[in-house]
Amino acid sequence: MENLEKQLICPICLEMFTKPVVILPCQHNLCRKCANDIFQAANPFWTNRVGSVSMSGGRFRCPSCRHEVIMDRHGVYGLQRNLLVENIIDIYKQECSSRPLQKGSHPMCKEHEDEKINIYCLTCEMPTCSMCKVFGAHKACEVAPLQSVFQGQKTELSNCISMLVAGNDRMQTIITQLEDSCRVTKENSHHVKEELSQKFDVLYAILDEKKSELLQRITREQEDKLSFIEGLIQQYREQLDKSTKLVETAIQSLDEPGGAIFLLSAKQLIKSIVEASKGCQLGKTEQGFENMDYFTLDLEHIANTLRAIDFGTGKGGGGASVSLVNPWKPASLPLSPMQRQIH
């Protein structure tokens, strides 16, 4: 019987179920009054007065397993009654009423061992017996019938349980909202990280493209200069070969012993030497022709601009915004020695 009684205790009021008993979708049972108390606490704006019908339901959590119970517009009155439990309660009460009261089933007073505890001392806030009120420590205290205080404190405890259950439901709602906030925060962070990476990839591509373009310009200038210098070297080598052969011819002419033979070729030989001596008038490179310093770039202002990139706010919301005013536009450079040579 004791084990059966434990199964018939409402988890809200901690008393035996009071009819009508309702069964929740999770198969746990509650007094309908207790179920209505925790439902009203969890849904303070839900009303179902006489003459007015709520157009929406509400929800609360089972105090036994925390399963969420969703109600329609009828509230707890839409829950099914558990007639089996109600019948078991009736049978249990009949069985208990037919059994004699066992000794020791009622608490006895410690000061008066033969007296049952049957009153409540309001002054000391503790149960006691009638003898303590008449002759004992509580004779000057205010007392009340045990049953009235018992029902009042049970009602207060039931209300506290309902408040606690409603508070737990609110905390669970907050936890769910915070978990959703964590998920959305992670998704948004992932999105902006991808967007930022794409923007920097575009910058990397622009830098690589500009680097290739400038290197090609330097290479073309180098090739033009080397081609020009190698052409001059070829001209000077050809002139040197002619002069060397002319010197050899002139030396052989000086060794000619006959005056008539010498004079026949001397005039033409002298003329050729004079023309050969003009070889020094071939093209030359200007001073600093090999210099390539005019291809130097001053990128300090661009580096500072890149270092200044940061997240900011604009008309369209947050974003990293840095203005670059044609950072790759070449300055007006003077003509290179090669260009001046060509012109």
Q: Beta-carbon neighbour count of residue 43 at 10 Å?
A: 19
SS3 319: strand
Q: Are the CB atoms for 237 and 282 separated by under 8 Å? A: no
**Residue 109 DSSP one-character state:** -
SS3 304: helix
Task: Please list, in sequence order, all residues whose beta carbon lies within 8 angstroms of the beta carbon of residue 308, skipping any fewer than 6 positions away.
Answer: 322
**In whole angstroms, what is the distance from residue 339 CA to residue 224 CA?**
9
Query: Per-residue pLDDT for 189 more than 80?
Result: yes
pLDDT band at 1 (very low <50, low <70, confident <90, very high): low
**In whole angstroms, what is the distance from residue 228 CA to residue 343 CA?**
13
**In whole angstroms, what is the distance from residue 103 CA to residue 80 CA?**
40
Q: In this structure, what token pair is assigned to residue 132?
A: 């303590």
pLDDT band at 219 (very low <50, low <70, confident <90, very high): very high
Q: Are the CB atoms for 39 and 60 separated by under 8 Å? A: yes
Cα 185 to the chain's mean position, in Å? 4
By residue count, the chain amounts to 343
Q: In this structure, what token pair is assigned to residue 178?
A: 């915070």
Query: Per-residue pLDDT for 332 more than 50?
Result: no
- Average pLDDT value for residue range 85-93: 85
279 by Cβ neighbours in 10 Å (0-12 / 13-18 / 19+) ranks as middle
Predicted local confidence at residue 281, as pLDDT: 66
Predicted local confidence at residue 90, as pLDDT: 84
pLDDT digits (tens, 9 = 90+) for 124-151: 988 888 778 766 788 788 888 877 788 8
- Lowest-confidence range among 16-30, 115-129, 227-241, 264-278? 264-278
Predicted local confidence at residue 336, as pLDDT: 56
pLDDT digits (tens, 9 = 90+) for 168-181: 888 988 998 999 99
